[in-house]
Amino acid sequence: MSAGKDDLLSLSVHGDIRDLLQRKFRQDSVIYYALSRNASIKDIIEAMGIPHTEIGAIEKGADQLDFSYIPQPGVQLDIRPIQAGSAPTEPTFLRPQPLACCRFMVDINVARLTSLLRMAGFDAESVPESAQLHTKRDIAEASAATGRILLSRDKALLKHREVTFGRLVRAQDPPSQLYEIINLYGLRSEVSPFSRCLKCNDALVPVTKESVAHRLEPLTKKYYHRFKRCGSCLSIYWQGSHHQAMLDLLTPILPESSQH
């Protein structure tokens, strides 16, 4: 006995998340999916290749649905990506408990993002490579427990239900990955270069030259006059040779008001 379309779930997947679908689901604009068990829409979408973290809305006509919805045969759904500029600090139907602020946990497969996010002024920690976090579930739970957005290129990691806020980083090179994250979460107005320690993630505080003079090399002491110091590791920062290169890298995402 062959099934008609009335026996199948119909899914229209919109936007760039179509690229994440397994190849066999990418051919047609409407996917007809055979329901074999009482699976949630989260499990169905993820079985087709898209981690739930990438979904911005699940719609049945004019109705919004959440990830626990169990589709019945004959239902037609629209699956939409998270729109650029969506702040995780605002509640949405799929994620009614927003984050208090945008902080990040960076997986080792996008490791360069840690220092780039810090350079732009954001709170970013690397996934700890400690013995306590040896499974993907441990990492997922750690990101949720610390209220951090999990950034990764690992689909399986992001499929863990513990992860509410995460991003399957699409861009290949680290600067483009940074721009992707800033634009996705609408963070451009919060970019604050050289406000955070690249080594330990703590805030930098302006200090007088006199207070750090004893720790400066002679040429640094001669040519630079403005200094900042990390509150935790006490590293000293000044606008030396790396400064302009970093500023050039950040230019595409600097707030409009600070561009000339």
To the nearest whole angstrom, how small is the minimum distance from the Cβ of residue 201 to Zn ion?
7
To the nearest whole angstrom, how small is the minimum distance from the Cβ of residue 148 to Zn ion?
18
Which residue in this structure is represented by tokens 């790396």?
Answer: 242
To the nearest whole angstrom, how small is the minimum distance from the Cβ of residue 199 to Zn ion?
5
To the nearest whole angstrom, how small is the minimum distance from the Cβ of residue 103 to Zn ion?
16
Which residue type does 139 have? I
Which CB sits closer to Zn ion, 11 or 197? 197
Which of 5, 112, 134, 199 forms a contact with Zn ion (CB under 5 A)? 199
Which of 35, 57, 133, 200 forms a contact with Zn ion (CB under 5 A)? 200
Which CB sits closer to Zn ion, 159 or 196? 196
To the nearest whole angstrom, how small is the minimum distance from the Cβ of residue 198 to Zn ion?
8
From residue 140 to residue 179, what is the string marking binding to Zn ion with x (rule CB under 5 A)? ----------------------------------------
Contact indicator for 43, 33 with CB cutoff of 8 Å: no
To the nearest whole angstrom, how small is the minimum distance from the Cβ of residue 241 to Zn ion?
20
Which CB sits closer to Zn ion, 213 or 233? 233
- Tokens linked to 7: 């026996």
CB proximity list for 155: less than 8 A, separation 6 or greater: 20, 49, 51, 168
Tell me how far apart the alpha carbons of residues 58 and 221 are, in angstroms, rounded to a whole number: 59
Which CB sits closer to Zn ion, 55 or 230? 230
Tell me how far apart the alpha carbons of residues 251 and 245 are, in angstroms, rounded to a whole number: 10
Tell me the CA end-to-end span of the chain in Å, nearest whole number.
69
State whether the Cα torsion 19-191-245-126 is positive or negative: negative
Which CB sits closer to Zn ion, 116 or 230? 230
The DSSP letter of residue 226 is -
Stretch that binds Zn ion, among 61-69, 114-122, 189-197, 215-223 (CB under 5 A): 189-197
Closest alpha carbon to 114 in 101, 127, 133? 127
Which CB sits closer to Zn ion, 30 or 234? 234
197 binds Zn ion (CB under 5 A): yes
β-strand partners of 112:
none
To the nearest whole angstrom, how small is the minimum distance from the Cβ of residue 228 to Zn ion?
10
203 binds Zn ion (CB under 5 A): no
Q: What are phi and psi of 203, to 5 degrees?
A: -70, 150
Task: Give, in order, the Cα–Cα distances in Å from 161 to each of 35, 155, 228.
Answer: 21, 12, 41
CB proximity list for 13: less than 8 A, separation 6 or greater: 21, 25, 31, 50, 79
Which CB sits closer to Zn ion, 220 or 235? 235
Site for Zn ion in 225-254 (CB under 5 A): 230, 232-233, 235
Tally the residues of the chain.
260
Query: Which residues bind to Zn ion, rule: CB under 5 A?
Result: 197, 199-200, 230, 232-233, 235
